[in-house]
Amino acid sequence: MSSNEVIARVLLIRHGQSLWNIEERWQGRADIELSELGIQQARAAADKLGSFDIIASSHLQRALHTATIISEIHGVGPVEVDERLQETHVGPWEGLTRQQIEQQWPGYIDTRRKPEGFEPDESIVDRLTNAIRDFGKRCAGGSALIVSHSGVIRTLRHEMGASNPRLPNLGGSWFNVLGNDRVTPGDIVTLLDETSFTEAL
């Protein structure tokens, strides 16, 4: 096997709509549950997914509930919980709306500036890359599904030099695990028809 050969593919997707998504609040590590629509989204997305050797999730309820629904429909499990997959710690922005953030920290969001207490990008890349690599090695020759959060998925793609468009609920990205332990970005995935579901932040 060559060092740059793909040994496994890992799909990271965002959870279904949460109660704070409805209110357009930055969640960070606040443990917010899925809305009723979020539960429906998870079921609809499960119907569009292929088979996976492993299903894993962040420990936060909105991700774990999404993963559990998918796991039960596909008969793959139990869901493996890994705290490395949790959302970015957003410090003082947790629980605030975009409008509130822009009032208190003008220009920060548009220029990617972070307030004190916000998790550094390097920390996100390190923990998420290691988790993807670990799950990929365990399902060599196959694929793993990880239910995580848009903030960390987008940050990882950005730091890898890939496009990082806004991800709707149940949107995500493939990542490739190579024989030399590198992790590289793959295609963006959208599982739901946004005309059928109300998009949430």
What distance in Å separates the CA atoms of residue 58 and residue 129, rounded to the nearest whole number? Answer: 14
pLDDT, position 145: 98
pLDDT, position 198: 45
Instruction: Give the predicted TM-score (pTM) of the model.
Output: 0.93
Residue tagged active-site, from 15, 65, 94, 149: 15
Respond yes or no: is residue 158 known to be catalytic.
Answer: no
Number of H helices, E strands in the chain: 6, 6
What distance in Å separates the CA atoms of residue 33 and residue 136, rounded to the nearest whole number? Answer: 28
**Whether pLDDT at 2 is above 90:** no
Q: Which amino acid is at 127?
A: R
Residue tagged active-site, from 87, 94, 119, 149: 87
Q: Which CATH number fits domain 6-190: 3.30.230.70, 3.40.50.300, 3.60.40.10, 3.40.50.1240?
A: 3.40.50.1240
Mean of the per-residue pLDDT values of the chain: 94
pLDDT, position 86: 98
What distance in Å separates the CA atoms of residue 17 and residue 149, rounded to the nearest whole number? Answer: 11
What distance in Å separates the CA atoms of residue 87 and residue 115, rounded to the nearest whole number? Answer: 16
121, 127 contact by CB (below 8 A): no
In the chain, helix, strand, coil percent, each to 5? 35, 20, 45
Respond yes or no: is residue 159 known to be catalytic.
Answer: no
Mean pLDDT (whole number) for 156-177: 96
CA dihedral 138, 4, 124, 71 (to 10 degrees): -30
